[in-house]
Chains A and B, each alone.
Chain A
């Protein structure tokens, strides 16, 4: 079944060989596993490390691992980033602004986070990022190398004197690279940080949006719209953020429209694209097998669903198989996470990372009829929980009562109390945004397998170029 790693395969060990179609492995850097979101820029990859979980105890090389993949056969570690936010863990906030060549991440451990933002220059030498903001978002000043005595300490590092949880969880850039937005589940907060001068970042907006909870987001090319994924219910909100983009002195965000599709779902994020100049939005969910949707947002007040794209295993009729397969493998079932397109203007391909289902590529020349053209689900790293302490997956613990989080329809994926403390690692979590590189390459990072340089085979995909 499409997307499935069957219970039988997980029992027999077949899952340790992985699964692929039209994608082959060129090179890999597994390291100690990876965090949720690990961007790349040029020939470099930034692999985050889980720090809240088992990672604290077993990770030898903490912080963000910088890889040089200019030779994709042999990606190499060139540097590690250990400034406060990078060390705390960046969750889904580690993002690159392509226009300015800046890497940013906030301290965003899943529950407890310090209020820290780190910005790195990667334009000149992506393999050796240079920390730009030695002073963090503090009201009181203080540098990264001491004199923090008046700041509270969170997770061993100084936190900022802002209300707790203002930052955290998700982060992302406005395309011009002058604003870095962060959102948090906690109280549905949303903040905008002016990074025009990356050595002096400062907050220009912070607010609590109330319900539904907000999650990942994307920003329109002109910076005036923020497409915010929502949780409970799953959906998205089109927000007018032009006050922030224009740096008005008292910015107010205004809702243009909202769409929701599942009361018990969690929208993850979105990508604005255009076909023939008409705007569309790709959205992806991380709960209840909801998968991917494509909306026509030509009339932004009335987004129109064009296509709902689920893997076969994600469809409602396969609830029982999902439960059987993913029990014991941690918090997440067969769920989509981040996606990317080969180009935002008249895209030809969409690649999405999935929990349990690897990375999967779809031809989306016609958004109404996407079809899968390739997939790569890397070998399960069974038994390596401790050596892969940097993986956010290996750090999952089986301490929940059933039914667990991610597949409410299923009324039980994953975690059964009393089966032991560690997840069974029977399929990887490929949650990071894939990236189309060059003519026929795809770079992805999976939590357990780390960075994977993949190449399309059988002429299944060839880059159309950067846009028409």
Chain B
């Protein structure tokens, strides 16, 4: 049992904790990049891709609206104020908590987060040069890169959302995070199958 004296981890369902705030700030940024990806590929004529991209953009814009609304009501900055993903690194207390430590509520805490980008960015984010490449490609090549980048973007987003859905203080934040995870996993099923149909193994990362 992990005993914490940090007031932020006391069960207060009406006060946002670091996870609520950090998730809303970082996920807004993360979502913004998904929208940038959709915009970068908006000229692609494939209707299935367009339908998928439109669905992603609609959902993520709506979710950004909710997260920004939360932050406004909490009187918190809309943009992150520190290094990315700090809210997913709660201070470890005690020396020997392995990956499967148990949280106060009996649920399992997240293991270490190998998905976090080595450069300290958020998991699943594309680099600026990948986005540029996406803008310049056309046709099937663009379609494949869009799907590959979005698959990884979602995988990173799912990691963030799952942590928030189990560690946030506020029930509405938990629900929103769980919904994001569910939606993006469904979308990743479709993305993977579309990649297979294009002759690409979805497990292989983009070049």
Could you tell me which A residues sit within 8 Å of B by CB distance? Answer: 52-54, 56-57, 109-113, 152-155, 159, 164-165, 185-187, 211-213, 231-233, 263-264, 266, 287, 331, 395-397, 399-401, 403-405, 408-409, 411, 417-418, 421
0/1 interface trace, chain B 94-135, chain A, CB 8 Å (1 if under) = 000000000000011010000100000000000000000000
Give the residue name and chain of the B residue nearest to A210 (CB).
B62
Give the residue name and chain of the A residue nearest to B162 (CB).
A403
Contact of B178 among A164, A264, A331 (CB under 8 A): A264
Q: Which residues of A contact B181 (CB under 8 A)?
A: 405, 408
Stretch at the interface among B28-36, B83-91, B186-194: B186-194
Q: Which residues of A contact B183 (CB under 8 A)?
A: 185
- Listed residue (B47, B58, B62, B175) with the most chain A CB atoms within 10 angstroms of its CB: B175
Chain B interface extent, by class: 35 or more
Q: Which residues of B contact A401 (CB under 8 A)?
A: 115, 155-156, 158-159
Q: In the complex the two chains form, is A400's CB within 8 Å of B188's CB?
A: yes
Tell yes or no: B207 within 8 A of A by CB.
Answer: no
Q: Inter-chain contact count A-B, CB under 8 Å?
A: 122
What are 11 A-B pairs with beta-carbon distances under 8 A? A56-B193, A111-B189, A152-B47, A159-B47, A232-B182, A397-B202, A399-B192, A399-B202, A400-B158, A411-B108, A421-B201
Q: Are A421 and B59 CB-contacts (below 8 A) given A155-B48, A185-B183, A264-B178? A: no
Q: In the complex the two chains form, is A186's CB within 8 Å of B190's CB?
A: no
User: Could you tell me the distance between the alpha carbons of A231 and B151 in the complex, rounded to whole angstroms?
Assistant: 23
Give the residue name and chain of the B residue nearest to A404 (CB).
B185
Q: Are A396 and B189 CB-contacts (below 8 A) given A154-B51, A164-B55, A212-B175? A: yes
User: Could you tell me the distance between the alpha carbons of A371 and B10 in the complex, rounded to whole angstroms?
Assistant: 40
Q: Are A165 and B47 CB-contacts (below 8 A) given A263-B175, A331-B189, A421-B203? A: no
Tell yes or no: B25 within 8 A of A by CB.
Answer: no
User: Could you tell me the distance between the alpha carbons of A331 and B183 in the complex, rounded to whole angstroms?
Assistant: 12
Give the residue name and chain of the A residue nearest to B175 (CB).
A232
Q: In the complex the two chains form, is A408's CB within 8 Å of B159's CB?
A: no
Give the residue name and chain of the B residue nearest to A113 (CB).
B51
Q: Which residues of A contact B58 (CB under 8 A)?
A: 164-165, 186-187
Tell yes or no: B79 within 8 A of A by CB.
Answer: no
Q: In the complex the two chains form, is A111's CB within 8 Å of B187's CB?
A: yes
User: Could you tell me the distance between the alpha carbons of A264 and B182 in the complex, rounded to whole angstroms?
Assistant: 10
How far is the CB of A306 from the nearest CB of chain B, in Å?
Answer: 24
How far is the CB of B193 from the nearest CB of chain A, in Å?
Answer: 5
Q: In the complex the two chains form, is A112's CB within 8 Å of B166's CB?
A: no
Q: In the complex the two chains form, is B179's CB within 8 Å of A232's CB?
A: yes
Tell yes or no: B197 within 8 A of A by CB.
Answer: yes
How far is the CB of B53 from the nearest CB of chain A, in Å?
Answer: 10
Q: In the complex the two chains form, is B174's CB within 8 Å of A263's CB?
A: yes
User: Could you tell me the distance between the alpha carbons of A411 and B110 in the complex, rounded to whole angstroms?
Assistant: 8
- Listed residue (B155, B162, B176) with the most chain A CB atoms within 10 angstroms of its CB: B162
User: Could you tell me the distance between the alpha carbons of A7 and B171 in the complex, rounded to whole angstroms?
Assistant: 33
Interface of A, helix, strand, loop or mixed by DSSP: loop
User: Could you tell me the distance between the alpha carbons of A165 and B50 in the complex, rounded to whole angstroms?
Assistant: 12
Q: In the complex the two chains form, is B182's CB within 8 Å of A110's CB?
A: no
Give the residue name and chain of the A residue nearest to B49 (CB).
A112
Q: In the complex the two chains form, is B182's CB within 8 Å of A111's CB?
A: no
Q: Which residues of B contact A52 (CB under 8 A)?
A: 190, 193
How far is the CB of B41 from the nearest CB of chain A, in Å?
Answer: 15
Q: In the complex the two chains form, is A263's CB within 8 Å of B178's CB?
A: yes
Q: Are A408 and B178 CB-contacts (below 8 A) given A54-B193, A263-B171? A: yes
How far is the CB of A108 from the nearest CB of chain B, in Å?
Answer: 12
Q: In the complex the two chains form, is A233's CB within 8 Å of B175's CB?
A: yes
- Listed residue (A153, A266, A401, A404) with the most chain B CB atoms within 10 angstroms of its CB: A401
Q: In the complex the two chains form, is B52's CB within 8 Å of A112's CB?
A: yes
Q: In the complex the two chains form, is B188's CB within 8 Å of A186's CB?
A: no
User: Could you tell me the distance between the alpha carbons of A404 and B159 in the complex, rounded to whole angstroms?
Assistant: 9
How far is the CB of A52 from the nearest CB of chain B, in Å?
Answer: 6
How far is the CB of B46 from the nearest CB of chain A, in Å?
Answer: 10
Give the residue name and chain of the A residue nearest to B157 (CB).
A401
Q: Which residues of A contact B155 (CB under 8 A)?
A: 400-401
Q: Which residues of B contact A164 (CB under 8 A)?
A: 51, 54-55, 58
Q: In the complex the two chains form, is A57's CB within 8 Å of B189's CB?
A: no
Q: In the complex the two chains form, is B190's CB within 8 Å of A110's CB?
A: yes
User: Could you tell me the distance between the alpha carbons of A154 and B182 in the complex, rounded to whole angstroms?
Assistant: 23
Q: Which residues of B contact A396 (CB under 8 A)?
A: 189
Q: In the complex the two chains form, is A408's CB within 8 Å of B202's CB?
A: no
Q: In the complex the two chains form, is B47's CB within 8 Å of A154's CB?
A: yes
Give the residue name and chain of the A residue nearest to B106 (CB).
A316
Not counting A57-B197, A397-B202, a sample of 7 additional A-B residue pairs whose C-beta atoms are within 8 angstroms of each other reads A110-B186, A111-B55, A152-B47, A154-B47, A264-B166, A397-B193, A404-B185
0/1 interface trace, chain B 61-77, chain A, CB 8 Å (1 if under) = 01000100000000000
User: Could you tell me the distance between the alpha carbons of A416 and B133 in the complex, rounded to whole angstroms?
Assistant: 30
Give the residue name and chain of the B residue nearest to A396 (CB).
B189
